[in-house]
Amino acid sequence: MEFSSRIKLTGKQFFVLTGIVGARAVIGLEDPFRGTLAEEMPAEVARIEQELLEEGLIVTDTVDNEPVLAQELLEYIEVCSRTLLTIHMRVTGSEGEPKECFIYYSSALVVISEIESGPSGERIYVLEELGTPSEAWLKIIGYLQLEDRKNRGTGPLALPKGWFQQWMNAEQGEQEPQRHLLAQGYPESVVTALADSVSSPERYASFTVYYCPDLNCRIQGIELLRGKDSNWLIRPEGDQDQIRGAQVTEIIHELGAVIERIK
């Protein structure tokens, strides 16, 4: 079979493929059969298997008459299904549409699943290998498009948990986070620089790491904001969001630390 290293799957196709390899759960794969009655499932799964057969993504085993995956695709799906470590990234910027992806690690291979919208708004999963873990890390950093900005040279600022995200989404009163920070005694120049970055971000990314031994999922996350003049790291700490200016080298170190803290 001719196999493309970049493959598009509907949610139902991805779900059925993970079922064929015996996966219990896949971080980032929403249940596409939600609302389907139990008695309808066998016919629906059979229909999706027929789609996969016609597309050459699975074949029927000549001995057991059961569907099996081509070796290359099997490797992709097994990495997604059996990984302990998954990274979820959302990236937005002034240059185009928001991007979302899930990155699945094994000791030898890393697979990325980029999320796209189908013709009817359904989620499409575009799977592609990123190479070894070290090769993948370089691609992840490139994906974030980090650029040097000033390090504000201050300790972290603190906002009540959730305020920063609301501020970014313009759900918080426009001046409330700024007034709160100034009332805590933070320098006006730093608060103003942060407010400018929030109001006119060049790029924003959320970076969430899932570590799931035996489906007991542990989660660590961090947010990155690139403004015209400053980079900012946002990390949840208890009931607060800690925010600080950072240079690219510090951001890369902190991203690595997020992964190490979770293991």
DSSP state letter for 171: -
Q: Are 172 and 104 within one domain? A: no
Q: Which domain does 193 fall in, by range?
A: 156-247
Q: Are 136 and 205 within one domain? A: no
Q: How confident is the model at residue 15 (pLDDT cuts 50, 70, 90)?
A: very high
Q: Are 72 and 169 within one domain? A: no
Q: Give the residue-averaged pLDDT of 131-141.
A: 94
Structure tokens at 138: 């370089």
Single pTM value for the model: 0.90
Q: Are 11 and 135 within one domain? A: yes
Q: What is the DSSP string of 6-69?
A: EEEEEHHHHHHHHHHTT-S--TT---TTTT--GGGHHHHHHHHHHHHHHTTSEEE-TTT--EEE
Q: How confident is the model at residue 63 (pLDDT cuts 50, 70, 90)?
A: low
Which residues are within 8 A (CB) of 183 and not within 5 positions of it... i.e. 6 or more apart?
A: none
Q: Are 137 and 51 within one domain? A: yes
In a domain, 261, yes or no: no
The total of structural domains in the chain comes to 2
Q: 118 in helix, strand or coil?
A: coil
* Residues paired with residue 9 on neighbouring β-strands, in sequence order: 125
Q: Are 171 and 66 within one domain? A: no
Q: Indicate if the pLDDT at residue 96 is higher than 70.
A: no
Q: Are 162 and 48 within one domain? A: no
Over residues 227-250, the pLDDT tens digits come to: 998 999 999 998 999 999 999 999
> Taking all residues of the chain, what is their mean pLDDT, rounded to a whole number?
89
* Tokens 């597309």 -> residue: 55
In a domain, 263, yes or no: no
Of the candidates 261, 252, 191, 183, the one whose C-alpha atom is nearest the C-alpha of residue 227 is 191
In a domain, 257, yes or no: no
Share of the chain above pLDDT 70, in %: 94
Of the candidates 94, 91, 99, 90, the one whose C-alpha atom is nearest the C-alpha of residue 200 is 94
Q: Indicate if the pLDDT at residue 95 is higher than 70.
A: no
In a domain, 1, yes or no: no
Is the distance from CB of 231 to CB of 246 less than 8 angstroms? yes
Q: How confident is the model at residue 1 (pLDDT cuts 50, 70, 90)?
A: very low
